[in-house]
Amino acid sequence: MSAKAVPTMADIDQVFAGITRQEGVRYTALWLNEAGFRKAQATAQVDISAYLMFYTTDALSLRNNNCTAQEMRERQEKWISLYKDAGAPIESAYIVTAFGCNLQGEVPIADTVAAARHIIKLAREHEFPVPRIMLADTVGWADPEDVKRRVGAVRELAPDVSIGLHLHDTRGMGAANVYAALQMGVDMFDSSIAGLGGCPFAAHANVHGAGNVSTEDMAHMCHEMGIETGIDLDALLEAAQVAERVFDRPLAGKLMHAGRPNRHPVNNLVISTDAGAHRDST
């Protein structure tokens, strides 16, 4: 998520003009500053999903926003009034590098909690409902126990506030982090089709931004554990395959390559042997 990696908004008009809208789908956009929001707002067909952004470290905020974390906090007051003017309810508030920062190093849990406390304070001051607090593992430092600790600390601060996670699979712990979060009752995750984002095959050294956890792999994991998601997994896998064709390189999603487990295979070799009789013989 270095500034260089963030796609520009330059062609947002063309992107949204090219979308054939489906009923029941929200077509949202991301922005990093007020100009970006105004651009999104001015673009036909964009469904505004308003959010706030807070940084735990100055180093990343300086790189991404050219201002300190504190200055970024102050800018959020402007964002709030823009959203108010636009009649857009603030749905979520991101805490960026909530688990650690490549530029500044370790992020104390107290700093993550302080950002959450600030979000709650802003909501009270500006009289809007406390939005979902999204803990973002921007650079892939989170481990499952740290997920539990930080989600737990924020929940202790605000038991009634919804907490979500924005996870990357930078160091192979994405699925474990989702599982840890599920155990904490987290039910909102940012993820991407086929684990898109970042390019592990182009530049092996100094990959600072890897893809998000794969939507279909995580939906599958939920389903296997009996957690309903309302997601049509076959359609999602089809989308992942479309993405792979479009990008024309192997994507990080696993299920899309392995296929769903076949619970009732047709070519059951047992039928043609007497082996079935032995199955429960111990």
Toward a second copy, which CB reaches closer, 22 or 282?
Answer: 282
CA–CA distance, 47 with 139 (Å, rounded to integer)? 27
Toward a second copy, which CB reaches closer, 185 or 250?
Answer: 250
User: How big is the chain by its Cα radius of gyration, in Å?
Assistant: 21
Least distance CB 9 / a second copy (angstroms): 25
**259-275: b (≥16 Cβ within 10 Å) or e:** eeeeeeeeeeeeeeeee
95 strand-pairing partners: 54, 135
Residue with the two structure tokens 């926003």: 65
Least distance CB 281 / a second copy (angstroms): 6
DSSP state, residue 277? G
Give yes or no: 67 in active site: no
DSSP state, residue 16? H
94 strand-pairing partners: 53, 134
Least distance CB 128 / a second copy (angstroms): 18
DSSP per residue, 142-154: --HHHHHHHHHHH
Toward a second copy, which CB reaches closer, 14 or 268?
Answer: 268
Least distance CB 275 / a second copy (angstroms): 4
Which of 67, 101, 199, 222 is flagged as catalytic?
Answer: 199
Toward a second copy, which CB reaches closer, 49 or 197?
Answer: 197
The residues carrying an active-site annotation are 199
